[in-house]
Amino acid sequence: MAGGGGPDMEVSDEELMRRAGLRQPQEVCGISSAIVVDNIPEVGKERLAKLEAVVMKIMSRFGTIVGKPYFPIDDNGVTRGYVFLEYRNEKEARSAVETANGYRLDKSHIFTVNLLTDFQKYMDLPDEFTPPEPAEYTREENLRAWLQNNDAHDQYAVLYKGGEGCSIFTNTPNEPVPVHEKDYWTDKYVKWSPQGTYIASLHAQGVILWGGENFSRKRRLFHPNVQMIDFSPCERYMVTFNGAPDHDTDPQAVIIWDVRTGEKLRAFNGQQHKEWPIFKWNFDGSLFARMTENVISVYEAPGCNLLGKESLIIRGVRYFSWSPTDNIIAYWTPEESQVPARVALMELPSRIEIRTMNLFSVADCKIVWHGQGDYLAVKVDRFINNRKKATVANFEVFRMREKQIPVEKLELKDTVQGFAWEPHGTKFAIIHEPQAAHGVSVSFYEMAADKLKHIKTLEKKPVSHIFWSPQGQFVVLAGLKQSNGVFEFYDTSDMTLMNVTEHLMATDVEWDPTGRYVVSQVSWWMQKVDTGYIVWSQQGRLLQRHSVDRFCQLLWRPRPKTLLADEEVKRIKRDRKEYSKIFEVKDRMTHSKASKALVERRRRLMSDFTEYRRRVESEITEAQRKELRGGMDQEDGEFDEEIVEYLVNVDEVILK
């Protein structure tokens, strides 16, 4: 080296690289960024340009393709069914292999994508088979661990800071217990799966599914600019929507995914649909359907092929809905010329109409299923005054479990603003505004064994929404948004008003899955001040109040359907008084422990403050104190004395 250093001063290249914090360049295979896409259409020279454009459009989503794709051609000038592509680097190539493998171009062509370097690996396999070493057993996370909580406490997700923060809490009677917290968990919003197994987060590149005790990443579904998501009731499938333009050969707006494997099952166009969800699932997730003009298309899962040879052609169909417990769809068609409007029930896959009803002077219909599929309510808006004005005339209520499906008619002739079935029961509630009165009324009805029975009407109520407990019986009548945030809690077993509360500017209400708690929220997405949420008991007693910075949403974690038989559930309800004694003792112990913990916490804080004050006082000298008082000594200084009087009480004596 320069400077006359001897051999002992020589430093190797490896040592210089190590000291500089650099790694020595490694030899890289020139084909590590190349891939092979198999199972593409075999076409002649006249269609090669179109095939190249389609392949480039699809594969360019996963990275930047370098150069032109290479299509091997046989002696007849026809492509051999595979193509070679090269990306900028190996990372993009591997991303294309992971994401595009299994891509369905059409029914006959499903892509198989591999790295070009993998072919050499497969060619170098030994002639004799050597059984691999058995992999060490890895225990999978319990995806339903939260159900093992001894006190059956539920969890909920909170999105705050305008969407920048997201936390999972366990709800306890005194205060929520943090379970998991993460910043920038999502770019838009989060959503629980129907049975609570996963929580999905939306991102610019697609959707991520999280689950397990530590909420680790389980699946990643690549769908750029995804806007909306929806699960099947069985949680096995997911539908994603990103609003991409319709394309005849390469639809990308709507994609059906297999949640267990992350496999893309099929893509559909979505521009012609104006409501979400585009696809509606039957009760067990085996069928899904969508509606276009005059057509209802029903598909089977997981194949995503049409049920039968063709779609249902129903002239003028406006709306349809699945029964929540049976393979039955309800739909309605409007009047046309001399043909009346019609509501029909069709059983699938037989396509037999099991019940129809003709309606006249119809402006619109709304179809609402009972949660257990026992009843179907059709709200009919009828024309009056020569079709110049529409008003609600009646409800048609179908008894689905009775022979020939009889129909009950309820005539209101009022403007209806809301309707809701009791989830587990036979009641329903209607918000309506009588024409001859000022104010809103809420009426409760019951589907008795022989007739439709009116229970009670509450008049002049500040109500805009009805929220039934998931278990039935209890209901919250809420005035949301511009209705002053008034909440009335009712027990519908005897129509007792349990409490009247208030949450100003409340925007949402969410019952927990067990029906023990209800949450009112002020979302930052709708209101920019006083955001947060309040937890109430089912009787309307305030339990917790939380002010949260830019609070966006609170979502209770759903619970799967109980495994108990109906007879066992009825027995537990019948013996509820015996269980309640045990729970009351446990609740008192819980509150006692909580009160003791609170006292201990306050004592600890006071002790810490006293110690801090003593330490600071010992560090500051008298001279420093005098300097802080502007050089004035407390003993010889002049102070103004001020007397403050407080009114303690007032005794009022009446003299006769």
**Residue 64 belongs to domain with CATH number:** 3.30.70.330
* Domain endpoint, select from 123, 146, 176: 123
Instruction: Examine residue 295 and state whether it is found in any structural domain, yes or no.
Output: no
Instruction: Examine residue 630 and state whether it is found in any structural domain, yes or no.
Output: no
- Sorted by sequence, the CB contacts under 8 Å of residue 590 that are 6+ apart come out as 173, 174
What's residue 24's pLDDT? 56
What's residue 586's pLDDT? 75
Instruction: Examine residue 90 and state whether it is found in any structural domain, yes or no.
Output: yes
Cβ(321)–Cβ(398) below 8 Å: no
**HSE-up (13 A, CA, CB side) for residue 389:** 7
Give the separation between CA 96 and CA 113, rounded to whole angstroms. 8
Cβ(530)–Cβ(127) below 8 Å: no
Cα angle: 590, vertex 595, 599; to 5 degrees? 150
Q: Is 585 helix (H, G, I), strand (E, B) or coil?
A: helix
Instruction: Examine residue 450 and state whether it is found in any structural domain, yes or no.
Output: no
Range of the domain at 367: 323-429
3-state helix vs strand vs coil in the chain, percent to 5: 15, 35, 45
Cβ(407)–Cβ(387) below 8 Å: no
What's residue 3's pLDDT? 43
Encoded tokens for 524: 């930052």
Instruction: Examine residue 626 and state whether it is found in any structural domain, yes or no.
Output: no
Omega into 462 within 30° of 0, i.e. cis? no
* Domain endpoint, select from 429, 462, 493: 429
Give the separation between CA 518 and CA 419, rounded to whole angstroms. 19
Residues 106-134: pLDDT tens digits? 778 888 999 988 877 777 778 888 888 88
Global pTM reads 0.74
Instruction: Examine residue 538 and state whether it is found in any structural domain, yes or no.
Output: no
Give the separation between CA 193 and CA 429, rounded to whole angstroms. 28
For the chain, which ranges sit under pLDDT 70?
1-30, 385-393, 436-437, 482-483, 590-598, 631-641, 647-651, 653, 656
Cβ(103)–Cβ(264) below 8 Å: yes
Q: Is 150 helix (H, G, I), strand (E, B) or coil?
A: coil
Instruction: Examine residue 640 and state whether it is found in any structural domain, yes or no.
Output: no
Neighbour tally for 611: CB within 10 Å: 10
**HSE-up (13 A, CA, CB side) for residue 54:** 22
Q: 245: closest CA among 268, 222, 279, 271?
A: 271
What's residue 216's pLDDT? 92
Give the separation between CA 350 and CA 539, rounded to whole angstroms. 47
Give the separation between CA 429 and CA 469, rounded to whole angstroms. 13
Instruction: Examine residue 42 and state whether it is found in any structural domain, yes or no.
Output: yes
Cβ(460)–Cβ(440) below 8 Å: yes
Give the separation between CA 49 and CA 60, rounded to whole angstroms. 16
Give the separation between CA 607 and CA 372, rounded to whole angstroms. 57
State the DSSP code for 246.
P
Q: 430: closest CA among 411, 407, 450?
A: 411
Number of domains present in the structure of the chain:
2
Residues 310-319: pLDDT tens digits? 888 898 899 9
* Domain endpoint, select from 57, 88, 123: 123
Q: 65: closest CA among 104, 38, 33, 110?
A: 33
